[in-house]
Structure 1
Amino acid sequence: MSSSPNRGSKSATNSNNNNSRPTSKDGSKKNIWSSLLDGVANGKRLPEKNLLILGGTPDSQREFLDTLSADTSADPSLVNDKRRGKTPPIANHFALGYTYRDVLDADREDTLARVSAYLLSEPSLSFAPLLKPLLTPQSVPETLVVILMDWSDPWTWIRRLREWVRLLRSVLVSVDDETKIAMEETMTEWRDRKRGMDASAAAAASSGGPVTIPLGPGEWDEGLGIPMCVVCQGADKIEKLEKDHGWHEEEFDFILQFLRTILLKHGASLIYTTPFLANSLQSLIHSSLGIHSLLKRQSLKHNVIDRDKILVPANWDSWGKIRIIREGFDMEGVSTAWSIEIQDAPEPLDFEQPVENNTPEEDGGSAVTVFEQTIQDPRRDRTVAHASSNANGDSVEIETSDMQNFLSKQLEKLEQLKVEDEKDRANQQTPQLEMSPMDDQGRVNEHIGPVQFNMGGIQVDADDMLKKLKDREANRAQRKEGPPTSPGDEKAHNQALANFFAGLVKKPGSSPRGSPST
């Protein structure tokens, strides 16, 4: 009987526990469902990657994104039908632009990652506050900087590249300490790839003893804390530079050596691209971001032979490989001058100023000055030559336009002529026939064909007979004008012709058919 109160207290306690959430040992409530949902959401969350696209125009930036997201499957029409109208818009006309792209696997079904692209066209220091929030300890390892150049003005590349590096350095210096630590770890990981060590190998080496493989000269001297890639678009314009401006292999080799020497200091990659042609841009960007297909292994192979398909992956290049392109290139001087120049704050881009008017500090010791003295703007030289030729009254150079521009202008002219022709037809009140059978009987006969008829089983060509009769009449006219002929001879000739045709008509065993057939 004494146990009944205890039994009642236990039942009361159980009822209270049924109405409340489970509690932990320390008595604090824990939401089991929330933790389960968060775990599922984290499992399904896409890996997020970031692209910081610097330079170029809004159109060239769109071209880069289109090439990056182009379908390389065997049957791209299926994917185009599936994804038509689902391409995110690109907002890149004002200050810092943004868009995103989903990276699909080889089967075009699974999504490997979502790439957020931030776009900036001008290396102005006023845009630095817009870039700083993009760099956090979490985003730095998942970010790649892409600097766009174009073959329409290669003489501006080194100056543009210098100002972009200066802007990036000013932004990276201003981040907090935690972000700086993340950048140092990222650069260490990329340098270890150059040394042939992954993260596990590096940890094992550090536990067993220090193992250091030294870097080559000029490698990773100026790491920015973020991986970088330089994309030179429009490689199809190389042929135009060669034909219209007289460029030779020396100029193209000098540009390539200069770029590779500078990018080697930052551990950056380099690629030349051509619109509407397959290239390795997608593989290069995806591998730099750590995006790998689960179904198809993509190989990334360097190419330093084809001048319009150059591909130099990160951690592949060296001074020895750059030197064999062409002897006489001063890699030591360019590397030293570049390290000095990028220390300053970014300056406004001004390509109208001649190279000779640079500041005394830049004369002779600036990498940009050395480059621009060798690779000069041919349009400036042509302007000077044109001015001198106008002064002398003679000119031997003819400026040619781009093929696409020429064809577009011709199309506009054809459309204008078409409109004028339509107006002329509309103004004509009484349209005339282009061909009259009475005016041009020969054309009608060509369409109808020869007229023949059967006389007594013999096929007679009416045209041939008509021609003979016309010739006969012409001969008669000539005889009338010439010496007089005997009337008896002419009468006998006519009687012979009549007897001949009468014999054909009255041939025994046949019935004449005199109706011509066409």
Structure 2
Amino acid sequence: MASGARRTSNFPVRRPNSRDQEKEEIWKPMLDNISSGKRLPEKTVLVLGGTPETQREFREAVATDPASNRRPPDKGRKPPIANQFALGYTYQDVLDTDHEDTLARLSMYLLADPSPSFTPLIKPYLNPRTLPHMLVVILLDWNHPWLWIRQLRDWIRVLRSLILSLDDASKEVLEENITTLQDKGRTVGGAEANSTLDNVKVPMGPGEWDEPLGIPLCVVCQNADKIESLERERGWKEEEFDFILQYLRTILLKHGASLVYTMPSAPGSLQTLVHSALGIKSLLKQQQLKHNVTDRDRVLVPPNWDSWAKIRILRDGFDVEGVSQKWSVDIDHIPRQMRAVANGQASADDEEMSPVVAEDEEDKGPSATSIYEETVKNPESDFPLSALHSKQTNGIEVSSQDTQDFLKDQVKIMDQLRLEDENEAKVKAAKKDDGSNYRSYADESSGVVEEHIGPVQFNMGGIQVNADEMVKRLQERETSRVNDTEAVTTPPVNGAEAGNMDNDKLMSFFSGLIKKPTPK
């Protein structure tokens, strides 16, 4: 074969036809759909307040299935949680009921301190892409219910300042969110019902959505099992718990927020509430949100359910209008540094200001926060637990003294005792120099002691014996014996000496013993 000849294949060459092109066009869209279906929907949960421990408990409660009260098994490595410093982060995969399919991924951003120095850390995560799929959760703790309204006020101010600092595109998304949230679940048939009343919208009542944030808000009151401790140890009554619930519901109604009580042993409907707010729906089972305002440790108030009329039913005499108006004034005051954050002028050299106290607040009467704190007293202070009862409660109130003040008082007492000991030693030394005076002092002291402690008694063979009386009788017997001896040794009347008389008697006595009777 010539070297320049080309080698050709003996197999026939198959050219693509129109039928092959149609098959390729069919498979490509199907593969693209499967690929896009594997992309997990991303949801964001902004957790505000609490401590690293309570934030961890919240994360575990969200992962707990309300039906079986069990967390799904960890597939592979458990995601870590970083919440020790400033803004923390962790994530969580939401599994379907069979724990096989992943419905979404929750990205949790955790912030425990409402300081203005930390609030700029949240701003990058509020953007047009994340805002439609975001939920804000504020954690409260039943270990300190007297701090709740102040904590809520601080966090609402933080959120309002951040919303003011967003760009126009983000604010447009927030406006759309407000419209969607206000219409969600407002039909007569309910959020999940399928009836002819689904198109009948329920109008908003007074005090509802007065202060919208544009982001769904959920308030979680953790450790509800402490309610029994407050009732048993602090003397709280049903009036206190109803007042707290009415106050929270009135405030959260203005923001269209939801409320839930949880405890470590029973998270309740927390998972269902969070998934419903984020639009996460199971493919196998639809969980229903059922309100509960009667069980004081399992309260659940879904969004767009509450109203002033329902709040008044819980207990008469609660000023819903007054609390609602005063709350709008409380959250309207934003400290200087927060306004700087809203204007984008915050820096590290800004003067630190606590968000607890507003700089521009004027004394215009009691605020919503002060009214709550006047009613629900802090037991760590010197005030009574509650102003709802005029009668004395049976709670335990113990106020401890400062350690340094206590030690100062003890030093003064010890110095005084040392001076008294020195003076007593000097007196004893002076008494020893004068024996008679010392003995008289000892006798007087002994008499005082005997007069103070009373007679000394002891049990002898079942008979109670007075020791003083026994000693007195022994002394009297000894005295009588001495007198009898003196009477025996008294000189005779004849003038004979007592010694000779005794000798004669002894001699006659022994002589009588020596003499033996004569035999007959």
TM-score by length of 1: 0.61
Distance 1:135 1:255, change over 3 A: same
Question: Which runs of 5 or more structure 1 residues have no equivalent in the other structure?
Answer: 1-17, 19-31, 199-210, 385-395, 401-518
Alpha-carbon contact 2:208-2:307 (below 8 Å) kept:
yes
Partner Cα distance (1:397, 1:155) in 2: 16
Equivalent residue, structure 1, for 2:126: 135
- Within-5 A mapping of 1:4-83: 40-71=34-65, 79-80=72-73, 83=74
Structure 1 residue 262, shift from structure 2 partner = 0.3
Amino acid at match of 2:217: M
Measured after TM superposition, the shift of residue 111 of structure 1 is 0.4
Q: 1:212 to 1:289 in 2, by over 3 A?
A: closer
Q: Which residue of 2 aligns with 1:148?
A: 139
**What whole-Å deviation, never above 9, does each CA across 1:119-165 have from its counterpart, x for those lacking one?**
00011122222111111112111000000000011110001100100
Partner of 2:220: 231
CA distance in 2 between counterparts of 1:72 and 1:213 reads 29
* Residue of structure 1 equivalent to 2:115: 124
SS in 1 for 2:181: helix
Contact (CA 8 Å) 1:48, 1:115: kept in 2 or not?
yes
Give CA deviations for 1:41-77 in whole Å, capped at 9, x if unaligned: 3231011100000000000000000111124565959
- Deviation at 1:197? 8.9
TM-aligned CA distance change 1:70 to 1:173, over 3 Å: same
**Structure 2 residue corresponding to 1:87, chosen from 51, 63, 78:** 78
Q: Hey, what does 1:373 align to over in structure 2?
A: 374
Deviations 1:350-379 (A, max 9, x none): 98x9xxxx9973563310011101111012
Letter of the structure 1 residue corresponding to residue 273 of structure 2: L
Displacement after TM superposition at 1:266 (Å):
0.2
* Deviation of the 1:382 alpha carbon: 7.2
> Is 1:326 paired with 2:295?
no
Instruction: Give the C-alpha shift of residue 398 in structure 1.
Output: 6.5
- Give the 3 Å change call, closer, same or farther, for CA 182–236 of structure 1 in structure 2: same
Alpha-carbon distance change, 85 to 382 in structure 1, aligned in 2, over 3 angstroms: farther
1:157 aligns with 2:156: no
CA distance in 1, matches of 2:182, 2:34: 36
Distance 1:143 1:360, change over 3 A: closer
Structure 2 residue identity aligned to 1:186:
N
SS in 2 for 1:119: strand
2: CA distance, partners of 1:367 / 1:233: 23
- Secondary structure of residue in 1 paired with 2:89: strand
1:288 aligns with 2:277: yes
The secondary structure found in structure 1 opposite 2:230 is: helix
Q: Identify if the C-alpha distance between structure 1 residues 349 and 321 changes in structure 2 by more than 3 Å, giving closer, same or farther.
A: farther
Q: Which secondary structure state, in structure 2, belongs to the residue aligned with residue 285 of structure 1?
A: helix
Rounded to whole Å, the distance in 2 between the matches of 1:248 and 1:157 is 18
Q: Does 1:170 align with 2:164?
A: no
RMSD of aligned C-alpha atoms? 3.5
The 1:72–1:124 alpha-carbon spacing in structure 2 relative to 1, beyond 3 Å, is same
Alpha-carbon contact 1:68-1:282 (below 8 Å) kept: yes
Kindly tell me: are residues 37 and 124 of structure 1, through their superposed partners in 2, closer, same or farther at Cα, counting changes over 3 Å? farther
- Alignment correspondent of 1:182: 173
Identify which of 228, 250, 255 aligns with 1:261.
Answer: 250
8 A Cα contact 2:126 2:170, kept in partner: yes
Describe the SS at the equivalent of 1:270: strand
Q: How far apart are the structure 2 equivalents of 1:213 and 1:298?
A: 23
Q: Structure 2: how far apart are the matches of 1:75 and 1:155?
A: 30
Report the 3-state secondary structure (helix = DSSP H, G, I; strand = E; otherwise coil) of the residue aligned with 1:378.
Answer: coil
Q: One-letter code of the match for 1:376?
A: K
Which residue of the other structure, out of 184, 206, 222, is the alignment partner of 1:193?
184
| Residues 251 and 115 (structure 1), Cα distance of their counterparts in 2 relative to 1, 3 Å cut | same
Question: Percent identity over the alignment?
Answer: 58
Letter of the 2:126 partner, please give it: L
Matches within 5 A, 1:368-447: 368-381=369-382
1:99 and 1:118 in contact (8 A); partners too: yes
Q: Taking structure 1 as reference, are residues 399 and 106 closer, same or farther at Cα in structure 2, changes over 3 Å only?
A: farther
Aligned with 1:179: secondary structure? helix
Q: 1:342 to 1:359 in 2, by over 3 A?
A: closer
- Distance change >3 Å, CA 349–CA 84, structure 1 → 2: farther
Give the C-alpha shift of residue 213 in structure 1. 5.5
Contact 2:333 2:361 in 1 (8 A): no
Give yes or no for contact 2:66–2:271 (8 Å, CA) kept in 1.
Answer: no
Larger Rg: 2
What do residues 270-296 of structure 1 show as CA deviations (whole Å, max 9, x unaligned)? 001111124111111111111111101
Is the contact made by 2:379 and 2:397 (CA closer than 8 Å) also made in structure 1?
A: no
SS in 2 for 1:67: helix
When residues 360 and 104 of structure 1 are mapped into structure 2, their CA distance, relative to the original with a 3 A threshold, is closer
State the distance in 1 between where 2:240 and 2:273 align.
26
Contact 1:73 1:106 in 2 (8 A): no
Residue 469 (structure 2) aligns with: none
- Which residue of the partner structure matches residue 495 of structure 1? none
Is the Cα contact below 8 Å between 1:363 and 1:369 reproduced in 2?
Answer: no
- Deviation of residue 345 (structure 1)? 1.8
State the Cα deviation string for residues 425-470 of structure 1 (Å, max 9, x = none).
xxxxxxxxxxxxxxxxxxxxxxxxxxxxxxxxxxxxxxxxxxxxxx
Q: 1:223 to 1:73 in 2, by over 3 A?
A: closer
Distance 2:362 2:65 in 1: 49
Deviation at 1:340, TM superposition (A): 1.5
User: Is 336-345 or 368-377 further displaced after alignment?
Assistant: 336-345
Matches of 2:70 and 2:129 in 1, distance apart? Answer: 35
Aligned length, in residue pairs: 346
Residue 319 of structure 1 and its aligned partner are, at CA, apart by 0.1
Distance change (3 Å), C-alpha of 1:212 and 1:108? closer
Aligned position for 1:105: 96
AA in 1 matched with 2:334: A
Change (3 A) 1:121 1:334: same
TM-score when scaled to structure 2?
A: 0.61
Which runs of 5 or more residues in structure 2 are unaligned?
1-15, 17-25, 190-199, 339-352, 386-395, 401-520
Aligned residue for 2:381, secondary structure, equals: helix
